[in-house]
């Protein structure tokens, strides 16, 4: 909970909240920053203000750039069941992985900074497609340039593929990269809870929809924090375990959690394999580290499965009555989906005319088994829906 904020700073914060343009917001925020005392209790706030300021600077710059050039967009439109963004330092082997997983045409080169624009390709595996995007290399100290674009694209990804060169201090590099990405508001550790603040004039007051637990306070404390920041009308949604700090963070913008996979490259050139174990110990159970070398990138099937699992998605194969084999294309559904969810996903009429389904799966005592609408599906099940 913010303490010891002088009234003139509070007033400045209100001015900031009301400011319309990014330029104006940045100016007010700078003034606010100069007015708050700096000590342990305000550390969090300081961090957020700095982040918000850099976001605003970024917005202003982009806006100017857009005005000047009307070239092709550097954003990548999402396709397929999920998007994997390959992020890392220059020469780490991002293009090598992209071209191993997809048919994308990309330049692989021992020279640094070969990929300065996003390149995308489709990774096809049994029944599904995952879009793989290589983004320009990260330069941690960079102010702007392709690094910012990469951070934006990473923030938009479903999964991050962190590419690390095993010859270049991978554990240290990993930590540096994580710190950098997190400073940009992308969280790599699964949060225990989630806070979403939706400001709206339509909200009569502050409405808290609490589906979780507030560890170190109560709803009155939350209202106090929001009131402090001049938020009087909003819906606050809480899931899982959250702290009052999390609420304060959410005022400054929701942090985006991204699951990630590590690709450790060039192990064929590595003499001492200890650094691989070192890295694996460091990341613990947080992510999967995949060791790759020029002809040893994991199969698309394996990797696709890992990614879908990480995202809580399953692949279901459907069969129609007159076909002997299921369709080659899978239906991608959230984990825990039922037969009727599948029917809805295929077509509305399927769910309306649903009678029963036949399921083929190894876990069943026999296949096909006749099941009702609430039967819970699992990854790789084959289903035939029988309608009226
Ligand atoms: N021996 C070996 N060489 C690799 C491996 N992975 C990548 N390389 C080489 O490392 C160099 C850089 O690889 P790229 O895939 O171009 O790296 P990048 O991350 O895309 O680099 P930029 O786009 O230039 O930032 C190339 O010469 C690759 O052939 C590997 O596992 N083993
Ligand atoms: Mg490249």
> Domain ranges in the chain?
7-68, 82-138+149-182+257-310, 193-254, 313-387
Ligand lying nearest the CA atom of residue 87: 1
Ligand lying nearest the CA atom of residue 164: 1
187-211 mean pLDDT? 88
With cut-offs at 50, 70 and 90, classify the pLDDT of residue 301: confident
Query: Cβ(266) to ligand 1 under 6 A?
Result: yes
Distance from the CA of 96 to the center of ligand 2, in angstroms? 7
Distance from the CA of 294 to the center of ligand 1, in angstroms? 9
Predicted local confidence at residue 270, as pLDDT: 86
Predicted local confidence at residue 254, as pLDDT: 67
Q: For residue range 169-188, what is the model confidence (pLDDT) as tens digits?
A: 999 999 999 999 988 888 88
Query: Cβ(161) to ligand 1 under 6 A?
Result: no
pLDDT at 297 exceeding the cut of 80: no
What pTM was estimated for this model as a whole? 0.76
Distance from the CA of 169 to the center of ligand 2, in angstroms? 19
Going by CA atoms, what residue is nearest to atom 2 of ligand 1? 266
Fold matches, 82-138+149-182+257-310 and 313-387: no
103-108 mean pLDDT? 92
- Reading the block at residue 81, the tokens are 């069941």
Report the atom number in ligand 1 closest to the C-alpha of 134.
Answer: 20
Highest mean pLDDT of the ranges 6-15, 214-223, 246-255? 214-223
Distance CA 318, CA 64 (A): 50
Report the atom number in ligand 1 closest to the C-alpha of 113.
Answer: 24
- Reading the block at residue 92, the tokens are 């780490």
Q: For residue range 17-63, what is the model confidence (pLDDT) as tens digits?
A: 778 788 998 999 999 999 888 887 777 778 878 888 888 888 788 77
**Topology adopted by domain 313-387:** Ubiquitin-like (UB roll) (3.10.20)
Strands (E), 110-223: 119-125, 128-134, 159-165, 186-187, 193-199, 206-210, 213-214
Computed over every residue of the chain, the mean pLDDT equals 87
Distance CA 94, CA 77 (A): 19
Asked which of 138-152, 218-232, 264-278, 363-377 is least confident by mean pLDDT, the reply is 138-152
Distance from the CA of 58 to the center of ligand 1, in angstroms? 30
Distance from the CA of 105 to the center of ligand 2, in angstroms? 11
With the most atoms of ligand 1 within 8 angstroms of its CB, the residue from 87, 100, 102, 108 to mutate is 108
With cut-offs at 50, 70 and 90, classify the pLDDT of residue 1: very low
Distance from the CA of 103 to the center of ligand 1, in angstroms? 17
Distance from the CA of 293 to the center of ligand 1, in angstroms? 10
Predicted local confidence at residue 277, as pLDDT: 86
pLDDT at 129 exceeding the cut of 70: yes
Query: Cβ(114) to ligand 1 under 6 A?
Result: yes
Architecture of the domain spanning 82-138+149-182+257-310: 3-Layer(aba) Sandwich (3.40)
User: In sequence order, which ranges of the chain are alpha helices (DSSP H)?
Assistant: 7-18, 22-35, 43-68, 94-101, 145-156, 170-183, 219-228, 244-251, 274-283, 300-310, 339-346, 348-352
The closest alpha carbon to 191, from 142, 135, 259, 252, belongs to: 259
Q: For residue range 61-104, what is the model confidence (pLDDT) as tens digits?
A: 877 766 655 555 677 888 998 999 999 999 999 999 999 889 99
Asked which of 87-91, 116-120, 269-273, 353-357 is least confident by mean pLDDT, the reply is 269-273
With cut-offs at 50, 70 and 90, classify the pLDDT of residue 194: confident
Query: Cβ(93) to ligand 1 under 6 A?
Result: yes
Distance CA 92, CA 90 (A): 5
Predicted local confidence at residue 73, as pLDDT: 61
With the most atoms of ligand 1 within 8 angstroms of its CB, the residue from 85, 86, 87, 91 to mutate is 91
Distance from the CA of 130 to the center of ligand 1, in angstroms? 22
Predicted local confidence at residue 302, as pLDDT: 84
Query: Cβ(265) to ligand 1 under 6 A?
Result: yes
303-325 mean pLDDT? 89
**Displacement of CA 213 from its chain's centroid (Å):** 24
Give the burial class of 232: count Cβ atoms within 10 A of its Cβ; 0-12 exposed, 13-18 middle, 19 or more buried.
middle
Going by CA atoms, what residue is nearest to atom 1 of ligand 1? 266
């Amino acid at each position: 909970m913010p303490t010891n904020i002088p009234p003139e700073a509070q007033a400045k914060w209100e001015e900031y909240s009301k400011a319309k343009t990014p330029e104006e917001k940045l100016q007010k925020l700078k003034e606010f920053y100069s007015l708050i005392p700096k000590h342990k209790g305000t550390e969090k706030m300081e961090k957020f203000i700095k982040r918000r300021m850099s976001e605003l600077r970024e917005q202003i710059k982009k806006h100017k750039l857009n005005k000047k050039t009307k070239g092709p967009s550097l954003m990548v439109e999402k396709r397929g069941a999920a998007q994997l963004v390959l992020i890392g330092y220059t020469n780490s082997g991002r293009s090598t992985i992209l071209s191993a997983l997809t048919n994308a045409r990309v330049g692989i080169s021992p020279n640094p900074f070969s990929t300065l624009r996003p390149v995308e390709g489709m990774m096809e595996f049994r029944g599904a497609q995952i879009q793989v995007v290589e983004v320009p290399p990260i330069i941690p100290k960079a102010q702007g340039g392709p690094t910012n674009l990469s951070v934006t694209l990473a923030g938009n990804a479903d999964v991050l593929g962190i590419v690390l060169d095993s010859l270049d201090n991978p554990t240290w590099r990993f930590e540096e990269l994580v710190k950098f990405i997190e400073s940009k508001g992308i969280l790599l550790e699964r949060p225990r809870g989630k806070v979403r603040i939706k400001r709206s004039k339509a909200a009569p007051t502050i409405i808290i929809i609490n589906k979780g637990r507030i560890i170190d306070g109560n709803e009155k404390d939350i209202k106090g924090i929001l009131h402090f920041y001049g938020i009087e009308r909003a819906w606050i949604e809480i899931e899982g375990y959250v702290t009052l700090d999390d609420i304060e963070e959410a005022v400054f913008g929701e942090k985006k959690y991204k699951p990630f996979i590590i690709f450790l490259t060039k192990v064929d050139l590595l003499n001492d394999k200890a650094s691989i174990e070192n890295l694996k110990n460091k990341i613990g159970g947080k992510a999967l580290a995949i060791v790759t070398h020029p002809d040893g990138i994991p199969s698309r099937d394996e990797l696709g499965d890992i990614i879908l699992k990480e995202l809580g998605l399953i692949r279901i194969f459907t069969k129609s009555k007159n076909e002997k084999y299921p369709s080659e294309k899978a239906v991608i559904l959230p984990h825990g989906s039922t037969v009727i969810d599948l029917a809805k996903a295929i077509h509305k009429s399927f769910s309306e005319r649903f009678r029963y389904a036949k399921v083929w799966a190894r876990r069943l005592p026999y296949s096909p088994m006749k099941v009702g609408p609430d039967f819970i599906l699992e990854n790789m099940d084959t289903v035939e829906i029988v309608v009226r």
